[in-house]
Amino acid sequence: KAGVTQTPRYLIKTRGQQVTLSCSPISGHRSVSWYQQTPGQGLQFLFEYFSETQRNKGNFPGRFSGRQFSNSRSEMNVSTLELGDSALYLCASSLDLAGDPEQFFGPGTRLTVL
């Protein structure tokens, strides 16, 4: 069974631009969560989607948004990029967090904001 895939793997943007990251979960998994990893803050939860609905949200500004499609694929968008948004963005999938809390991560998208 294929794992979680994320595209692109690397991205360079400039301040003020916006970016969209994509995640395809493991087949059959309906929950997709997004995390941000930075050297200073570590791994932090952004949001979780289940059945095309945002079910949970972390403490990030509204510039960070996402969506989920009917095939469970998910996208994350960051608008008006800031230097501090430079990070590794990780997507994780699960059958359904409520019944099965184990999450499986993709390789991540490394975003650099110049």
Partner 1 sequence: DQQVKQNSPSLSVQEGRISILNCDYTNSMFDYFLWYKKYPAEGPTFLISISSIKDKNEDGRFTVFLNKSAKHLSLHIVPSQPGDSAVYFCAASGRNSGYALNFGKGTSLLVTP
**Residues making contact with partner 1 (CB under 8 A):** 4, 6, 33, 35, 42-45, 48, 55-56, 58, 90, 92, 97-98, 101-108, 110
Tell me whether residue 19 or residue 89 sits nearer to partner 1 (CB atom): 89
Using the structure block, give the residue that is written with the tokens 């499609």.
Answer: 69
CB contact at 8 A, 58 and 33: no
Tell me whether residue 59 or residue 70 sits nearer to partner 1 (CB atom): 59
CB of 50 to partner 1, least distance (A): 9
User: How many beta carbons lie within 10 A of that of residue 17, not counting itself?
Assistant: 13
User: How many beta carbons lie within 10 A of that of residue 60, not counting itself?
Assistant: 16
In whole angstroms, give the CA distance from residue 26 to residue 106. Answer: 9
Tell me whether residue 4 or residue 81 sits nearer to partner 1 (CB atom): 4
CB of 57 to partner 1, least distance (A): 9
CB of 18 to partner 1, least distance (A): 23
CB contact at 8 A, 33 and 91: yes
Instruction: Pull the structure tokens for residue 94.
Output: 């699960």
Tell me whether residue 50 or residue 85 sits nearer to partner 1 (CB atom): 50
